[in-house]
Amino acid sequence: MTAYRDCAHPKNSYEDQALHVESDNLGYFCCVSRLKFLLSYAKYRLKSDNEHDIHSPYIFEFYNNVICDENPYYVYEDIESIRAKLLLTDLAIQIEDHGAGSKVNASNTRKVKDIAKNTVKSPKYGQLLFRIVNRLKPQTILELGTSLGISTMYLAAPSKKTQVVTVEGCPNTAKVAQVNFDKIGFGNIRLVNATFDDFLPGYLAKTNVLDFVFFDGNHRKEATLNYFNQCVEKAQAHTVFVFDDIHWSEGMTEAWETIKQHPKVTSTIDLHHLGIVFFNPDLSKEDFVLRF
């Protein structure tokens, strides 16, 4: 069953324009890719305008009190001040891209300010990650794809007791992220400079349970499903997976559809830019497409 429900955000009224795309998605703006994404986003907006009740009490509460929560937290300003500085940083670094690459800049030399503008999660989605973690209170978080570390800081901010392991394949990007972690002073982040393929098998062999995983790198169907299939073996009833850019390409959409059908997966939430996966057997097998 697929249910649709609207989430009103008065402060984000610009999003009521179906073809508006925020800074997260500047990477889509190339030729055919741009058109395909705009059509995908417009379709999502139209579908999510069809309001139906969310029959699951848990998802209803999660949607209204976590996803749609607009209450500010003090740490938002701390993290956004670091983003502001990154957006002014002209430093150029060499990029080792181990994923699907950039749709904005094919060069291996990129300015930090361009990475911050085109690749890093926007405040809206970074703060959503904060609220999800703040609600779930996982003991451990695994992030695949650090980039400049903005999303990592949002994941680590809710509790010093939560241990965050974040993996970045590019050494120069990882160095910039580590500087940001040192600036904000969070002591619960461990940054690993390695490819996902090299890191995951060893990490999972030493891990009994995954509490929370944020998949934010290598936006290709085969790679995404590979990492999901490895991690899902460590998923328990309380585990939550979040996938970034689930409609970044046709391949990513196909990967998302495959993930939803996995027998361990119960409920899922499609926010177009992010996909949230629950494994709680007390939840019914439902796939929600919700306005955000």
> What confidence tens digit (pLDDT) does each residue in 28-55 have?
445 556 777 788 888 888 777 344 668 8
Quick check: is 56 in a domain? Answer: no
Query: What is the per-residue pLDDT for 200?
Result: 98
Query: What is the per-residue pLDDT for 42?
Result: 85
Q: Model confidence at 152, in pLDDT bands (50, 70, 90)? A: very high
% pLDDT > 90, the chain = 75
Quick check: is 190 in a domain? Answer: yes
Quick check: is 180 in a domain? Answer: yes
> What's the average model confidence in pLDDT over 194-209?
97
Quick check: is 232 in a domain? Answer: yes
Query: Residue 190, Cβ neighbours under 10 Å: how many?
Result: 12
d(CA 66, CA 287): 18
Q: Model confidence at 24, in pLDDT bands (50, 70, 90)? A: very low
Q: In terms of Cα–Cα distance, which of 183, 179, 160 is closest to 168?
A: 179
Does the structure show a pLDDT above 60 at 147?
yes
**More confident site: 18 or 140:** 140
Quick check: is 47 in a domain? Answer: no
Q: Domain holding 285: CATH number? A: 3.40.50.150
Quick check: is 213 in a domain? Answer: yes
Q: Tokens standing for 292? A: 């955000």
SS3 state of residue 235: strand
Quick check: is 254 in a domain? Answer: yes
Structural domain count of the chain: 1
Residues 6+ apart with CB under 8 A from 29: 21, 103, 104
CA distances, 183 to each of 172, 209, 250 (Å):
17, 31, 38
Q: Model confidence at 13, in pLDDT bands (50, 70, 90)? A: very low
Query: What is the per-residue pLDDT for 262?
Result: 98
Quick check: is 125 in a domain? Answer: yes
Query: What is the per-residue pLDDT for 52?
Result: 60
Domain encompassing residue 148: 74-290
Query: What is the per-residue pLDDT for 38?
Result: 80
* pTM for this prediction: 0.88
Task: Tell me the average pLDDT of the chain.
Answer: 87
